[in-house]
Amino acid sequence: MKTILIIDCDGLCWNVFHALPPLSHGEQGTAIIYGFLNHLFELQAFTQADHIAFAWDSRESKRIELFPEYKLKRRTAKNEYTDEEKAMHRDRASQFKLLREEILPALGFINIFQEDGLEGDDIIASLAIKYSKQHFVKIVARDADLFQLVNDKCTVFDIVKRKSMTEEAFFSKYGIYPDMWADVKGIAGCTTDEVPGIEGIGEGRAISYLLGNMKSTSKLYKRILNGSETIELTRRLTVLPFEGTPRYRLKYDQCRVKYLKEVAKKYNLQSYLSRERLKGFRRDFCGKA
C-alpha cells in the first residue's frame, strides 16, 4: 500500500507567514519560501510518501458565484489595509506564486494542482476520495471541513498542533463518524467561511439532531425540518469536493539534488547547500519512481 501526502499549500504558507519574521534576498521576500520548504522536508522525512500532491487555491471562487456573502469579511478586510500592510501582502502573494509556479517545479515536483474557481480543499478531496480506496492518504491541513474525508485510510494532520485526526480520534471527540460531518456542516453551517446554517444550531446541536437525541417537539427540531432550502445551499458550499471538481492522476516526481542546489543558490537559501540537507533531499525525494 502506497502513502500519498497531500498538502494544503495556501494554509501552510499562511501558517509560515504568521510564524516567521520577514526574510529577503535582494528585493524578493523569502521567509515563506524557506519556511514552506522546511515543513515539506520535515513531512517527507517522516512520512516517506510515494507521492506528494500540492493543492493550491484559485483566486476566483465558484462558491462566491453561488453565495456572494461567502468569506465576505475576509475578502473585504483588504480594503482596510494600511500602505505598509498592502506591501506586506503583495510580498506574501508573490512568494505563494513563486513557490507554486517556479520553485516547486524547479525542484522536480510534478503534482502541483490549482483549478480555476476552486479551493485547494476541493482538489484535496478529489485526490483523497480517489486514492484512499487503495492507499493510505495523509492530508496536511488545519481546516476542519476536511474531517469529512477521514476514514480508516485517510487522516488529517495539523502541523501546528502536531496532531492527526483519525477516524478513532474523530469519534472520540464528536461521538459520530467522519462520514456524518458533511451532514453536520449542512445543518450548522460554517462560521469561519460565513456560510449560514440553521439559526441557533451549532455543531453540537446538529449532531444531537442527527443522532435522534433532539426532542421532536422543540423549536430547534422544527426549525431544522423547515430549513431544507438553507441546508441544501449550505451543503453545496461545504460538501467536498465542490460540484464539477476534476479527478486527478498522480505522477512520479523528477527531483534531483542538482535542482535543489540551483534553487538554493538562486534564492540564497544557504542552509539547503549543507551536506546534511543535500543528503536528506536525495534520500527522501529522489529516486521514488
The CATH number linked to 147 is 3.40.50.1010
Q: What average pLDDT does range 81-87 have in this prediction?
A: 91
In a domain, 165, yes or no: yes
Task: Looking at the structure, tell me whether residues 138 and 178 fall in a common domain.
Answer: no
Determine the pLDDT at residue 78: 83
pLDDT band at 74; cut points 50, 70, 90: confident
- pLDDT grade, residue 80 (50/70/90)? confident
Do 52 and 139 share a domain, yes or no? yes
Based on the fold, state whether residues 186 and 47 are members of the same structural domain: no
State the CB neighbour count (10 A cutoff) for residue 264: 20
Domain enclosing residue 260, as ranges: 3-170+241-283
Q: Which of 85-89, 92-96, 129-133 has the lowest mean pLDDT?
A: 85-89
Residues 260 and 281 sit within 8 Å (Cβ to Cβ): yes
**Is there a single domain that holds both residue 37 and residue 94?**
yes
pTM of this prediction? 0.96
Is pLDDT above 60 for 289? no
Q: Specify whether the CB–CB gap between 8 and 124 falls below 8 A.
A: yes
Tens of pLDDT, residue by residue over 17-28, are 999 888 878 888
The stretch 209-223 carries a mean pLDDT of 96
254-269 pLDDT, tens digit per residue, is 999 999 999 999 999 9
Question: Is 9 contained in some domain?
Answer: yes
Number of domains in the chain: 2
Residues 77 and 19 in one domain: yes
Does residue 228 belong to any structural domain of this protein?
yes
pLDDT in tens, 191-205: 989 999 999 999 999
Residues 205 and 115 in one domain: no
Q: What is the CA radius of gyration of the chain?
A: 21
pLDDT at site 288: 59
Q: What is the residue whose three cell numbers read 469536493? A: 241
Same domain, 193 and 270: no
What is the pLDDT of the chain when averaged over all its residues? 95
67 within domain boundaries: yes
pLDDT at position 75 is 85
The CATH number of whichever domain residue 223 belongs to comes to 1.10.150.20
Give yes or no: residues 207 and 253 share one domain.
no
Q: Are residues 183 and 72 in the same domain?
A: no
